[in-house]
Amino acid sequence: MNIKNKPWLIIIFLILAFLTYMKIDYRFIETFNCCQDDHDYLMHAETIALDFDLDYSNQLKGFEEMRFNNDGKIAPKGFIGSGLLASPFLFVGNIFENIFEGGKNNTSAIFNFKILFYSLSAVVYFFVGINLLTKVAYELKIKIHPLSSLLIISGTGLIYYAFERYSMTHVYEFFTSALIIYLSHKYFSTNLNYYALLIPIAMFLSLSVRWVNYFVVLLPFILYSLFKSSYKDLNLVRNQYFIFSFFGSLIFFLYTNYVIYGKITFNPQFVYETEKMASGFLTGHNNFFHFLSDNISNLITIFFTQEFGIILFSPLIFFASIYCVFLIFNNSLNISSKFILVLSFALIYAPVLLWKSTASSYGFRYLLSSVALCFILYSHYSKNYQNQTISFLINFLSVFSVLSVLFFETSPETSLSLTEATNSFGRELRFTQPNYLSGYLDSLFSFQSYLKIFSTSFLGALIFKSILSFLSIDEFNSLLSKYNLPTNNEDFQNLLTNLDSISFSKILIFLLFLISVSLYIEKKLQRNEQI
């Protein structure tokens, strides 16, 4: 059977996949409680979308000493960029909340319209980012199948932050980096000043998502150096529109920081209040050789550890890192191009080497800022070498990684520790799992893990909600008991109670959204274009 002639099969597969990956644990909530990263980014979105200001005194009332507080200047410790990008979704959600739920009188209901629409933001930016990158590859005449683009980008672990922990910054880092690359590509291809004007705006938007991602300002120059033969001979830094926009965007970026934090600064450690940490990274070694050997050892750990080692759990990032080394010793790039490429990867890996941690969630999440850059490096490799074996391995390992996201937190062995444990770097930390790979492989053969995947997904929620439309909770429990199925699980009973209180219209909105995305992807595939 030729699946190309059966578009409905592709659509059904995509809908089921999205329903399975879309989790309820960060959605069936009233809001994010202080104080954690997810909460900080939501506070930015709320003050922009609901208050139309940058005054956080009402959002952080009662938590002034737990977040950023500079002589009474209160703000989240997380940065504003993701909240800014998500604010239109929250704004629309608030409109729906006011119309259908009575607004402020009923915003405590779980899975309210604000949370519903806010949670869709990361999904939208995830697919838009993939669309931008695949368009660049297509226009550069690079043969990467659109489904392969979706797979290898999802296989970095980014899919977890799109479909489950949506309030974190990583999808927004990916999107803004992809936007910089796309705008740069269009400028180098067309020489239109319009794009030169937009590139710095995208740069500082990306920096506002996470200040530590300084490498994003180098992305246009990396792109040009990699695909110089496909572009016009242009000098971006001499373009007057680029110069004007760059300094204008810089001034606005610094002004925004001043309004939020009461100080003009580029230094993220000022906001995080960890200024001594970076200096300790540089000075905490006996000599340069000790510094070098220590970080090489830590790099090997990042590559191969059971605790989300990137060769298995972020194969695209692993490949791009190795390919970067190859390009350094290859004669295809000049010295300056090699320097900015090495500098970019040094800035990307530095937070992980500094903290010696996966960062208390799925995967080496601080490396996810590099996904767009890594895809461009993979595109460069595909255009110049076209090694089918390498492409197959990256796609195969990406499947392994994408499946791993499903099994995350489905058993004690795939869950992060709630008490201090020794991580792969030898640090005693909470929220670590040094044996994740073994736990993941064991979970593949565990019925309980599959049951957990189903019951925490929107696929399960949709089926259970449909049943509760005809049966009461007690009747449903009685039915399950007849088949000797467990009904005394506290989490399961809480799920049924929550589903019973959630209007079917909200579940339907979610379903319609996923159907729309699936139809769009299938349409692009049928046209042999990019998603």
Could you read off the pLDDT of 233-254 as tens digits, one per residue? 888 999 999 999 999 999 999 9
* Within-domain flag for 476: no
* Within-domain flag for 129: yes
Between the CA of residue 60 and those of 36, 47, 56, 122, 519, what are the distances in Å?
Answer: 12, 11, 6, 23, 41
What tens digit of pLDDT does each residue of 384-411 get? 987 889 999 999 999 999 999 999 999 9
* Within-domain flag for 440: no
What tens digit of pLDDT does each residue of 469-520 get? 888 999 888 888 887 776 777 888 888 888 988 888 888 888 999 999 888 8
280 has a pLDDT exceeding 60: no
* Within-domain flag for 349: yes
* Within-domain flag for 107: yes
Beta-carbon contacts of residue 18 (< 8 Å; ≥ 6 apart): 163, 514, 517, 518
Which residues constitute the domain of residue 150? 37-408
**Could you count the other beta carbons within 10 Å of the beta carbon of residue 120?**
22
Average pLDDT over residues 18-36: 90
* Within-domain flag for 266: yes
Residue 427 CB-half CA count within 13 A: 17
**Could you count the other beta carbons within 10 Å of the beta carbon of residue 159?**
22
* Within-domain flag for 426: no
Pairwise CA distance, residues 86 & 166, whole Å:
10
Pairwise CA distance, residues 449 & 298, whole Å:
31
* Percentage of the chain lying above the pLDDT 70 cut: 94
Question: How many domains does the chain contain in total?
Answer: 1
Between the CA of residue 201 and those of 56, 225, 452, what are the distances in Å?
Answer: 25, 22, 43
Q: Measuring CA to CA, which residue among 63, 74, 70 is closest to residue 32?
A: 63
* Within-domain flag for 178: yes
